[in-house]
Structure 1
Amino acid sequence: MTTIDRAVLTRQVYFHDPLAPPASLVAPSVFVAVRWHHGTLLLVRRCDSGTWELPGGRVDVGETAVEAAVRETAEETGVRIEVTGLAGLFTDPGHVVRAVDGEVRQQFALLFRARALGGLPHGDQHETSEAAWVPEAEIAGLPMSPPVRLWVAQALAIGEPPLLT
């Protein structure tokens, strides 16, 4: 019997990495910064990588970016939100994501600010293993990809105009 060694495909984030595969498409996505009491921020832990990020995902055909932000946040965290503003637009061609299915896309992300309307944070156990209100002082110690750190910093920059990159 012959055993074939197969690499397990996982989602891979490349940020200004010369070894990044070329993107085949640009996919619009949304991420949401929801602040809560005492300076906490709603974050999710990804099932595939274990890294923390803001809730969000791709915009589906037939929905607006704001509708996608509300839907993705509810799906990934169990928290219902209302979008209150735009924190940034991130279109860096050096930020490439290879999905589990092998699709390689250039990230095109809208970062919204929102307020919580209700619900208790919990992971969906499909994309997110955890969702939590994280104190701002603890965010630096969490494993995050470099672009997510940039988004979180912009999300926490209250009173600043939206960042357009």
Structure 2
Amino acid sequence: MARVDYYQDPNAPKANSIVVAVTAFVQDDAGRVLMIRRTDNDLYSIPGGAQDLGESIGHTVVREVKEETGIDVEPTEIIGVYTDPAHVIAYSDGEVRQEFSICFRARPVGGELRTSSESKEVHWVEPGDLGALNIHPSIRLRIEHAMQNRPSAYFTW
């Protein structure tokens, strides 16, 4: 299913749903960041996705990272809670979601890089090379917050 992200766009469609989702900021021992290139919008992103019924939020992080990248992770802290109503995501089936995403820091504990139906590329990226990638502003904000090692979690105000 295709998607279009609208961020601070006065012509964006009105949200008709909200779904709990996660993203994961994962760095290897060399400090490289785990990045995917999404199949639904062709943008680079940190891995993540929606929580399933009956699943804890921590398990959502582990499952989504494994599904999209092949890497096993352990969530270690919350980087931030991103709920900006000026960021909506329109899907080709008519759903328009208001952003609601909890971004976790996670450490890799195993697995091997691989693509999936949601990720056409999976890479460990040097932090200095992130600027050259086509990353949505909402994801770039999460990466910036993670790299700052903020003393407390960010939340949309």
Aligned partner of 1:12 in structure 2 is: 4
Unaligned runs of 5+ in 1: 1-8
The answer to whether residue 134 in structure 2 is matched with residue 140 in structure 1 is no
What secondary structure, in the 3-state scheme, does the structure 1 residue paired with 2:123 have?
Answer: strand
Please give the alpha-carbon distance, in whole angstroms, between the structure 1 residues aligned to 2:34 and 2:62: 13
Moved over 2 A (4+): none
Aligned partner of 1:121 in structure 2 is: 113
1:4-153 equivalent positions in 2, closer than 5 A: 10-124=2-116, 126-153=117-144
- Paired residues in the alignment total 156
Unaligned runs of 5+ in 2: none
Q: CA deviation at 1:160?
A: 3.0
Structure number with larger C-alpha Rg? 1
Please give the alpha-carbon distance, in whole angstroms, between the structure 2 residues aligned to 1:109 and 1:32: 10
Please give the alpha-carbon distance, in whole angstroms, between the structure 1 residues aligned to 2:39 and 2:52: 21
Once superposed, what is the RMSD of the aligned Cα atoms?
1.2
Deviations for 1:136-164, whole angstroms, at most 9, x for unmatched residues? Answer: 00001100111111011112122532111
Q: CA deviation at 1:48?
A: 2.2
Please give the alpha-carbon distance, in whole angstroms, between the structure 2 residues aligned to 1:72 and 1:130: 15
| TM-score, normalization by structure 1 | 0.91
| TM-score, normalization by structure 2 | 0.95
Please give the alpha-carbon distance, in whole angstroms, between the structure 2 residues aligned to 1:113 and 1:30: 11
